[in-house]
């Protein structure tokens, strides 16, 4: 799948998840200035969750894998979201 189409699909998944999370009282923070870190940081009911949005075919870069491993080793919750349905199930 071409990169542009994958980006659009990821953006669509992210927007839908953000709208759903907002209805549940969650706060989404965009973390774009930190290279390799997940796309969003979500706060809901006192719990922080890092979220990385990918299409079903999307792959993590080596740097993303490293950052996710670092976060998890510090006890952070990190989820790779590939669909709105998956997000709602993990919410």
CB 61 within 8 A of CB 68: no
Domain-wise residue ranges, the chain: 3-90
What is the pLDDT, as a whole number, of residue 9? 82
What is the pLDDT, as a whole number, of residue 33? 74
Binned at pLDDT 50, 70 and 90, residue 85 comes out as very high
Q: Are strands 77-81 and 47-53 parallel, antiparallel or unpaired?
A: parallel
CA distance 47 to 6: 29
CA distance 36 to 27: 21
- Measured from the Cβ of residue 55, the count of other Cβ atoms closer than 10 Å reads 17
CATH of domain 3-90: 3.40.1350.10
Which residue carries 């969003």 as its tokens? Answer: 40
- pLDDT of 25-81, one tens digit each? 999 998 777 899 999 999 999 999 999 999 888 899 999 999 999 999 999 999 999
């Amino acid at each position: 799948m071409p990169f542009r189409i994958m980006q659009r699909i990821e953006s669509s998944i992210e927007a839908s998840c953000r709208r759903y999370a907002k209805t549940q009282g969650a706060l989404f923070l965009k973390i774009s200035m930190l290279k390799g870190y997940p796309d969003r940081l979500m706060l809901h009911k006192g719990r922080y969750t890092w979220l990385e949005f990918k299409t079903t075919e999307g792959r993590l870069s080596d740097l993303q894998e490293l950052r996710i491993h670092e976060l998890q080793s510090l006890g952070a919750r990190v989820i790779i979201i590939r669909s709105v349905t998956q997000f709602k199930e993990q919410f």
